[in-house]
Amino acid sequence: MTVATSTQAGAGRWGADLRFVAETTIPQSGGTGTVSICHFVDFEDVFFIPVYMTIQGYVYSSDGCTSNNFREVTPENFVTLQMSGLTPTDLPAIASVSPTARIWRQAWLVAIAFGVLCGLGVVVLGRARRPRTSGTPDMLAIHSLVAMSQVAIVDGRIDEAEVHHIANILTRLTGRSYAAQQVTDMLNKLNPSSSDIEQVGQDLSDKDRQIVLEAALNIAVADGEIHLNE
C-alpha cells in the first residue's frame, strides 16, 4: 500500500492526492466490498482555486479515494482488468484530465489573466477594515452586492444564511456597517440579475474593483470549495 502526501501553508496546498474516478467490481482483500479506481495527481491549489493538476496514472483505493492510501496499477494491468470486466471499459487506458476539468482550469486562467489586465493585483481574502455607520449605500457596496448575489443565487435562491454572510462581507470589505435586513432591502430594491454583471466594476477605481472581486470570491468559497457554476 502506497501513501500520497500533501502540504498546506497559508492559502496554498500542494502535493499528491487521490481523485475518485469510478467504482470497480474488484473485491477488497478483506471481502467487505469493492475497490475504487482513482486518479493519482500532483496538484497545487491557492485560495481553493486549482492552479495546476497533473495526472500520474490510475490507482486503486479500498476507501473510495477518500484517504491517501492506494495500490498502484500499470497501464498494462489496467487494460487487462478492463478486458476481464472488473474495471469500467469506458475509461481511457491512459489516465487523462476530463474535458470538464480542463475547461475548469482554463476558466480560472482566463479569470486570473483578466484580473491582471485590469490591474486588480493579488486578491487578499480576509482583509479587515474598521466598520463605520452606513447611511445611503455607496457605489462600492452596490457593485459588491450585485457580484455576490449572482454567485450566491446559482443554487436557485439566496437563503437567510447567505444574506447574513453577504452583510458581514460588505461590512468587512467596505468599512461600513451593513445589517442583514439592510442587505435584504437592497436586494429587493435592486433586484439584480445576471445581465447586471456586465456593469459591475464600471466607473470604479482599480482598488474598488479588487474589493468587488474579493467579495465575490468570499461568497464562492463560503462552503469550502468553488463549484463550476459559481
DSSP string, 90-142: TS-SS----HHHHHHHHHHHHHHHHHHHTT-----TT-----EE-SS--HHHH
- Cell, residue 97: 484530465
Calculate the average pLDDT of the chain. 75
> What's the pLDDT at 109?
52
Q: Is residue 116 part of a domain?
A: no
Report the domain count for the chain.
Answer: 2
Q: Is residue 82 part of a domain?
A: yes
pLDDT at residue 3, as a whole number: 67
Q: Is the pLDDT of residue 133 over 50?
A: no
Condensed to tens digits (0 to 9), the pLDDT of residues 164-196 reads 888 888 888 888 888 889 888 888 887 877 777
Q: Which domain holds residue 199?
A: 125-220
Start-to-end CA span in the chain (Å): 37
Q: Which pLDDT belongs to residue 75?
A: 87
Distance CA 165, CA 131 (A): 15
Residue 36's pLDDT is what?
92
pLDDT at position 56 over 80: yes
Instruction: Report yes or no on 38 lying in a domain.
Output: yes
Same-domain check for residues 214 and 130: yes
pTM of the model: 0.42
Examine residue 6 and state whether it is found in any structural domain, yes or no.
yes
Taking CA atoms, 218 is separated from 32, 63, 118, 223, in Å, by: 42, 32, 20, 10
Most trustworthy range by pLDDT among 42-46, 76-80, 105-109, 122-126: 76-80
Looking at the structure, do residues 154 and 210 belong to the same domain, yes or no?
Answer: yes
- Answer yes or no: are the C-beta atoms of 41 and 50 closer than 8 Å: no
Do 216 and 130 fall within a single domain? Answer: yes
107 located within any domain: no
* Shared domain check, 143 and 76: no
